[in-house]
A and B are shown apart, each in its own frame.
Chain A
């Protein structure tokens, strides 16, 4: 089946797609976006208000001292994110004081906010925050711990406790995840692979929809511009379809490789330094496996998209026809996303081997929990079998469909096409 005609078609498809403005834009924009999003996040982290002036007022001197002690050793204060002023005022005094400070509170640069720790906090741990914008979640998160510790110090300071006992009471619980695999040493795991799994899932989903739609459009164009009959006088419908599918699949894999290039660079070079909890714990074979699996899955999906394109002669009608295929992409996408919460769901296990679904689910699974070699092989075999089962049907519908024009066919008619001798 592979002859110079198929290669001519593949070449034309590649030229058309690789040099189209839409393709170039999308291909370059996605890694661009990835970097921009990372950059924005980093920017947000660094540009978070520096030296935010906070007055920390408590109702009694002991509490003030203990807060002062705690805050001085706090990392965020050392980094200069917050600047604290301490004082002791009772409730009445505080009310008056607040009146005076009203004007200063209007400008964050002069005074960010006032925290009032009443004596009652020793019983109910309820403290107050006064500011122009009073729901400052990041501040609450930052100061929740230190203030709690100061309260604990003060509370147990009265009791006769050793320093060790106090330290223990002050401590929060700290989870550390350890990845356990048969063939490797147990090691600490960061969030890096979770991020990767998300990334893979999104990119696979996007690429499949995009390349699939592109191929469908191109089939519809050939059909509606009536070029197809000219081509068919030289090339058989199956050769044309094979050429189109392979051309589009190569385009897709090429695009995916470009999209993954930042990841490849990160894991194979030391040019980028990621924080410890974001280290990507995968190796190059995962990427290679993913690209191979993607290529095989892509030819199946693109075959289906081409089939739908051949049935309809305008994009509006075709978009209703693509719904079942989009579902085949969407459902695995959501399964992969749900895997992030708990990678050991049975549905993820099944989906990682299921035809169509394995395409998206397997790379996510591989990244999150790993998969035995036989599963990786089986997923590929299943995908190849799926393709072999679908191609004759899609091919038959394609060869009848591309020469049909006029009325939008009913699905029952499409089924009849399968019986035609073409």
Chain B
């Protein structure tokens, strides 16, 4: 069952089509990833889902009903560009964010205290935001996102600018929310990360959805004839070999595509015969990055993007 459906969203700024007829479905209880490089239209899509931008066309539907303020109140939203009122106190900030979501009173206050204790911020609850470290400010931001007990959590590039400790903290929050049956939607340009966390994805490029569905299905569909390989040695002899269609170096692993699905064993044999130390040989496996490049990466900048992406992903 789909909890949220995005139907034919389109948004144009001047002459630039930021999102072009984008449709995808978010299933109940899933972690959903909206994946694409910077400028692909992820943020615009999410802003339209949140009602921050009005779409030129299309709609977002929740259980058959077009979303509005009611939906907004049920969402915890963490934008990529996020900030807090510097002069406000920690507890004040949290209560204010809950209040504009329609939650106020003693219960929220109690819950805020609980979260503050959990995140080691209880003794700072009366400090001004500007007196907190950046890491602690991010924690306050997380609490503000989930304090009103949302059913949906929408995160735009959630891991940009987080330190490793907070990255793990946010991961835990996401997984905990999933266990509680909440729907988590996030956008990212970090393929590795999406691959680890998501059950469902939609891939967006130049404003168009180029791929969507369950991650498992997508992978098995694209994985045939693919081998992901870790090795030591020189594999340049494979270039121009009759059974190899394509070799792609992704840094840690190399993706090799054979011409026919039953040629993978032959490839392994060749590697061993050529004294290559095979550390990992994973037939029928493909990374999201490879899929992305195959679909979107027919030009220069997507290869650059993937290389860059690789570096950033190490931090996650």
Contact = CB atoms under 8 A, between A and B. Distances in A.
B83 A225 contact: yes
B151 interface: no
A368 interface: no
Contact of B81 (A4, A9, A20, A229): A229
Given A8-B96, A234-B72, A403-B52, A227 B82 contact: yes
29 contacts: A4-B102, A5-B100, A8-B96, A8-B100, A9-B100, A16-B85, A16-B87, A221-B85, A225-B83, A226-B79, A226-B83, A227-B85, A229-B47, A229-B81, A230-B77, A230-B141, A232-B52, A233-B72, A233-B77, A233-B79, A234-B73, A234-B100, A234-B101, A235-B100, A236-B69, A420-B13, A421-B56, A422-B53, A422-B54
A96 interface: no
B50 interface: yes
B39 to A, nearest CB: 13
Interface string A117-143: 000000000000000000000000000
A416 B77 contact: no
A12 to B, nearest CB: 6
Contacts of A422: 53-54
Contacts of B85: 12, 16, 221, 225, 227
A422 B141 CA distance: 26
Interface of B: 13-14, 47, 50-54, 56, 69, 72-73, 75, 77-79, 81-88, 96-97, 99-102, 141, 144, 154
A24 interface: no
Interface in A378-422: 403, 405, 416, 420-422
A225 B51 contact: no
A234 B50 CA distance: 9
A413 to B, nearest CB: 9
A155 to B, nearest CB: 76
Contact of A8 (B47, B56, B99): B99
B96 A230 contact: no
A16 B78 CA distance: 24
Interface of A: 4-5, 8-9, 12, 16, 20, 221, 225-227, 229-236, 403, 405, 416, 420-422
A227 B79 CA distance: 9
A298 to B, nearest CB: 23
Contacts of B75: 233
Nearest to A233: B77
Contacts of B79: 226, 229-230, 233
By Cβ-Cβ distance, the 5 closest A-B pairs, closest first, are A233-B77, A225-B83, A226-B81, A227-B83, A226-B83
A226 B102 CA distance: 22
A5 B103 CA distance: 10
A5 B101 CA distance: 8
A233 B56 contact: no
Nearest to B73: A234
Nearest to A228: B83
Contacts of B73: 234
A396 to B, nearest CB: 12
Contact of B83 (A8, A230, A233): A230
Contacts of A227: 82-85
A403 B80 CA distance: 12
A9 B100 CA distance: 8
Instruction: Point out which of B52, B69, B77, B97 has the most chain A C-beta atoms below 10 A from its C-beta.
Output: B52
B84 A225 contact: yes
A225 B99 contact: no
A9 B96 CA distance: 9
Contacts of A20: 87
Nearest to A218: B85
B215 to A, nearest CB: 27
Given A8-B100, A230-B144, 9 more contacts: A4-B99, A225-B85, A229-B52, A229-B79, A229-B81, A230-B78, A234-B72, A422-B53, A422-B54
B86 A225 contact: yes
A422 B12 CA distance: 11
A4 B97 CA distance: 12
A35 to B, nearest CB: 31
Contacts of B52: 229, 232-233, 403
A225 B88 CA distance: 13
Contacts of A421: 54, 56
B51 A236 contact: yes
Contacts of A232: 50, 52
